[in-house]
Structure 1
Amino acid sequence: MSEGLFFPVIETERLTLRPLATDDSESLLDIFSSPEVMKYWNTAPWSDIQDALDFIDVSNASMLREESLVLGIYLKSTRDLVGKCMLFSYDKESKRAEVGFGLGQRYWGKGYIHEAGVALIQYGFNALGLRRIEAEIDPDNHASAKALEKLGFTLEGLLRQRWEVNGVVSDSALYGRLVSDQSSNSLA
């Protein structure tokens, strides 16, 4: 596996964030084949192992090109993969990226998104030199909105009729966070 800014291993109290490997494919499929996990995504639930393998390949290729940072979220206690976190749509010149998270349903409500989010955001601001991190979510996804606000993001606007998935048209809520925001250096 490559090394450098786009292939970090980030440790938190309970988690390890690191690039995905081929042997993570079954765990990824288990997580992202769930209709509940994928409810607010702009793609359908994954249907077979090839979806997971393709995601890993595309993610690692994008990281090699320094276009995104896609990390698995692993429990330190068991080494189990419980989700993924990513900085994508990376624009080096504008010093911005978009953040995204996906977590297995049985791990919801345990603070893992907040813990991984704090580490990923700090990495984006400190190591990648980002000035701005954005998130785009379905306005009906109240859990993600709450998680983003807890991570110091501000609701900046609504993009009307932004997505259509399986014939369902939905809006997007746009959240943003700047390195200069007061909470940037005080996340806990």
Structure 2
Amino acid sequence: MDRSFPVITTKRLRLRQFEARDDRGLHACLGNERLMRYWDFVACEDIDETRRWVRILAKTTSPYDALAWAVADAKTDECIGMVNYHHREARNHRLEIGYILNANWHGRGLMREAVQGLVAHCIENLKTRRIAAIIHPDNAPSIRLVTKLGFECEGGPLRDYWRTGTTYMSPMLYSFIAS
């Protein structure tokens, strides 16, 4: 584990660097076709594919362009999801965020807590002014989450913006501007 990796602590969660032991926790997300239907890549077919993702995520520790955190339960340190930023443009003080949570943990306000922590980190530590979330228009829970956090819909659908397998998706653009 990289000691310089930024750990984000909330009331019930610890956002931390991925570790090899997070493979099953992340697979509950990335291997779940129902959850992945709104992402821009297909669900992982097996635990080995998720393990490859965990290895990649665990090695990515530079905050320059993208960074991902394991969302861990604060009491058990069990990985229950992921939050990340990507497409960071430091010069323009902007980036995009993504997130996913194990379905067994839905309905508790945990992802709102995690995203709130991520947004605060990006504003305070990376000096980010504009944070975007690209969301499939049918993903009502995600839209509710970002709007509760102050994100506003800027437009869309962004025609054929994402491709998953052979299917193109046209998501909506939500953004938060730090004051």
Which TM-score applies when normalising by structure 1?
0.88
Q: Is the 8 A contact 2:38 2:135 kept in 1?
A: yes
User: What is residue 22 of structure 1 aligned with on the other side?
Assistant: 20
The Cα offsets for residues 55-103 of structure 1, whole Å up to 9 and x where unpaired, read as 2233244433632121011111222211000111111111111111010
Give the counterpart letter for 2:161 in structure 1.
R
User: What is residue 3 of structure 2 aligned with on the other side?
Assistant: 3
User: What is residue 84 of structure 1 aligned with on the other side?
Assistant: 82
Give the counterpart letter for 2:115 in structure 1.
G
Q: Is the 8 A contact 2:134 2:173 kept in 1?
A: yes
| Alpha-carbon offset, residue 54 of structure 1 | 2.2
**Structure 2 regions of 5+ residues with no counterpart?**
none
Whole-angstrom distance in 2 between the partners of 1:49 and 1:140: 28
User: What is residue 136 of structure 2 aligned with on the other side?
Assistant: 138
| Alpha-carbon offset, residue 143 of structure 1 | 0.9
User: What is residue 99 of structure 1 aligned with on the other side?
Assistant: 97
Residue 116 of structure 1: SS of its match in structure 2?
A: helix
Whole-angstrom distance in 2 between the partners of 1:61 and 1:129: 24
Runs of 4 or more consecutive aligned structure 1 residues displaced over 3 Å after TM superposition: none
Give the counterpart letter for 1:25 in structure 2.
D
Match of 2:111 among 81, 102, 113: 113
Q: Is the 8 A contact 1:36 1:105 kept in 2?
A: no
Number of residue pairs matched by the alignment: 178
| Alpha-carbon offset, residue 164 of structure 1 | 3.0
What is the root-mean-square deviation of aligned Cα atoms in Å? 1.5
Q: Is the 8 A contact 2:22 2:78 kept in 1?
A: no
| Alpha-carbon offset, residue 163 of structure 1 | 2.4
Give the counterpart letter for 1:160 in structure 2.
R
Whole-angstrom distance in 1 between the partners of 2:121 and 2:62: 17
**Structure 1 regions of 5+ residues with no counterpart?**
181-188
Identical columns (%)? 29
Which TM-score applies when normalising by structure 2?
0.92
Q: Is the 8 A contact 1:155 1:175 kept in 2?
A: yes
Q: Is the 8 A contact 1:22 1:53 kept in 2?
A: yes
User: What is residue 184 of structure 1 aligned with on the other side?
Assistant: none
Residue 175 of structure 2: SS of its match in structure 1?
A: strand
Match of 1:48 among 43, 46, 50: 46
